[in-house]
Chains A and B, each alone.
Chain A
Amino acid sequence: MEVIEKKNKNKRYKPILDKIPDWPVYQLSKNRKEFIEDVAEHAFRRIKEMRPTRKQLVDELEATVYREQQRMKRNRWRVDPQDEPKFWAKVKEDLIELTARPLDDNATDRKEDEILKRIVHRYAGEIAGNFKPSSYRFAREIIQFWFARLLNATRVKKFGAIFRNQYTLRDKIQIVGKVKQLRNLAKKGTIVMVPTHSSNLDSILIGWVIHALGLPAFIYGAGLNLFNIKIIAYFMNSLGAFKVDRRKKNLPYLETLKMYSGLAIEKGAHSLFFPGGTRSRSGTIEKMLKLGLLSTATEAQRNIYLNTAEGETPRKIFVVPVTLNYHFVLEAPELIDDYLSIKGQDRYLPEDDKYGSVQLIQFLFKFFTKGSNISVSIGRGLDIMGNYVDEEGNSLDAQGRIIDTRDYFLSNGQITIDKQREDEYTRMLSQRIVAEYHKIHRTFASHLVAFVAFEMWQKQHPKLDLFGLLRLPEEELSLDYPEFRKTCKRVRKQIYNLKKEGKANHATHLKGKIDLVIRHGLENVGNFHLKRPLLMDKKGNIITKDLNTLYFYHNRLVGYDLEKFI
């Protein structure tokens, strides 16, 4: 490969805390029982505030039971506990007994409180992670060992290469950006890491990154569906994950979940969640974030200020945006199909094509022989309002003056709890995170070629809407190389400009001779897919074998206003 990444400078980082017993996540799991009690107690109080009258609370509980019973009937998973039907049947029975008589708001005996306590306690137990140092170490070794074997076997083409250690994960995955600051901030405060999300492999990748940077394990919310698979469940548990069950949308569950995350942050456990909620179906960089879990960071910071005695320094929370940059997303064809069928409703019908065995072998062969680098960009740390922080963790305003983050929670000189205000703060933070994503995301050659090709085809068919365009037969689409080359150059120039303005970033391989950059892009864009989204035919024209997947990779550069340079 002519276009080579700048010599990898990734070095080994020393752990910032030597012994696992010092890690906040370990402290949390050591006192697991007390922590669950704590979460349940707080969630109980919060829900009581939200549903102050007896009638409101009983209605909420009835809705919860109904939904839970529906879930058990329709969609039970292997991980679901055995005693579940019995538990909810008992809750239902108690509720029926309770509502048999009219509710008296002045009564002292409040059965519904006890029922709510029972429910949130159960939920808190379901959610809680179970971090064990021994299995953490074991899982870490396993991941490293096998990745290294795979890499060496494929990269060094000699017999016996599988046992070599010439390549490690650090050669394959580049970590760029504010690494030093992140390590500093992790010593001074609590980190809430918020990465972009495009693949199921992200969780494992980011887990490795955290370890490689010498940071203690983070707690993070992982979809309960992942725990259905025993081997993954083992890794997840050992890495400090807590369980998020997306089937449960009832109020007691959601509040318990938020309370778990919030209290853990408040207690100083570094945390991680994907604020986009799920993988980006369309392939774009996240534009809208889920505010639920993000709001727990704001709330935790307020509580820390509220509960810090005078003279003590309150522990600060730092939000660190991270983008994961890929040439290739394993699930791309399925994701974009999902996206298109939701967006197009009945105008679009995904085709059902089965993989033949020839294609399957082809896929496996490519997977092991071709390199496809991944880069992870660590953004600059933010406070919970989205202000940049310096190396010391001080929040800075646009002019570089130091801001006291505590002031955001003051009203008339006092820290006040104002839910609506904090919701607004969370919304503002989410917008800042989105802007940072666009700024730190590294544009790869593969993103460039995919974007340019798709936009050129769109321009050639100005009368067609997206679905019309996607319905065109792939054989009819072809671009002259000289024209394609010129456009790539123009768009690349604009990406340079955006980088200068601090609005975008790109990989070092995007520089240099445009022909080489294009070749690098074509070789890498979605290179493991059975049908290549973009390639050059024998005549030297640019063609596609799968326009939908090309659209997916193209979307990574949507949001930078590059369309007008086509």
Chain B
Amino acid sequence: MISNSVKFLLNDKILEIKNPDPNQTILNYIRTELKKTGTKEGCSEGGCGACTIVLGELINNKIKYNSINSCISFVPSLNGKQLLIVEDLVSKDGKLHPVQDAMVRFHGSQCGFCTPGFVMSLFSMFKNNKSFNNELITESISGNLCRCTGYRPIIDAAKSLNKINRKDEFSKNENKIIKLLKKIKSKNIYIKKDDKVYFSPKNIKDLKNIIKNNSKFNFLAGGTDLSLKVTKERKDILSIIDLKEIKELDFIKVNKNYMEIGAATPLIKFEDEIKKYYPDFYSVLKRYGSVQIRNVGTIGGNIATASPIGDTLPILLSLNAEVLIESFNQKKVLPINNFFIDYRKTKLKKNEFIRSIKIPLFKKNIFKAFKVSKRFDDDISSVCGSFNFEINKNKIKEAFIAFGGMAAVPKRAKACEKILKNKPLTINTFDKAKNYLEKDLSPIGDMRASKEYRLEIAKNLLMKCFIEINSNKLTRVN
């Protein structure tokens, strides 16, 4: 079952795009082909939220409403989903959706350009949750920038939704939509348009066949980084294999000793699981990027991209995670500590894909992770530090320490670890150890932070660990 067309619901109508350009963004499609201009282009990189749309997806016979950045998502990813845009939240008789109505009543718009994006983010929140506390509201709109209001009226509008009848047009229509979604249930996609090809297999077997028979391609596992090649560099991505539709790559398994996560599992799904074991991993993920980004971004994508500022990477390094790799005829396991070779280079060979990641669950260890960036929401780390200590009777048995933003690759601080190992848990130990970070790390200065600041932060984060372990209290401002 292979199709070269993309079938989706535009609200409640089935649309089919035959042989689309696989590099066309959903935003471009909405504005230039659907001729609906409510969805805005703000930045073309998923950084402002003006282009936010919601994709309804059938999960366990229920619709999950995911907000995403349409400016960095390609048209084929609409396949099998329900596309909801701001115009379609208005009922057919012109009545505003409760989310829209609240935005009007609380003066949540001024210039109005960011507003459709906020409306869609809040709509997704409204549909996926039962009640809306401050934390949820803040998180839901952390990927939407507004330059006029200062956000307070938007937060108030969101809070007011707690008092609103939860039944909206969409819940009334839900059964009908579910039926339609089942009807258009997606098939394997293979698009060939001019010199561009796009594969979206549904299972590993088909994936292996594709990589067996093709040599040059880019894996798409969320695409929040890859898509910028089109939207920012103005280049074409000639061959894409989309991994997101492979259900076998989207799972989380937990046993006594480790958690295994499918490579194409969205970060947003992963963060709720990992919270139970490593709360700081969860805290860093919340700052990793906006909801829109975490809805599509995957842990496998973050690893394969191998950016020195990929926030999960130092954490996985300090937790000694393992990467399970497959090609069409082979399987292997690599410790993540041997995985990164150089700037954005990994041991992943051509025709290999990441199947899953295994994270050991250290029950007795003390684990801490910190992200420092200019802004709390949706920013790239100046420094991301991750610390995994085994401490016994006030003695440091083991220390696994890793940093992001401190070298060309996410990097373990082995000299520092060595100094800490088998030493007493005292301030002197840490004071001494922190200086070894200068040996381990070689940060650069750029627009985010200077070299000196980065090094200072790395040292201070180590000290913070000691302070927090010693006092058994967190010393953080956010």
Same assembly: no
Binding site for A on B (CB under 8 A): none
Binding site for B on A (CB under 8 A): none
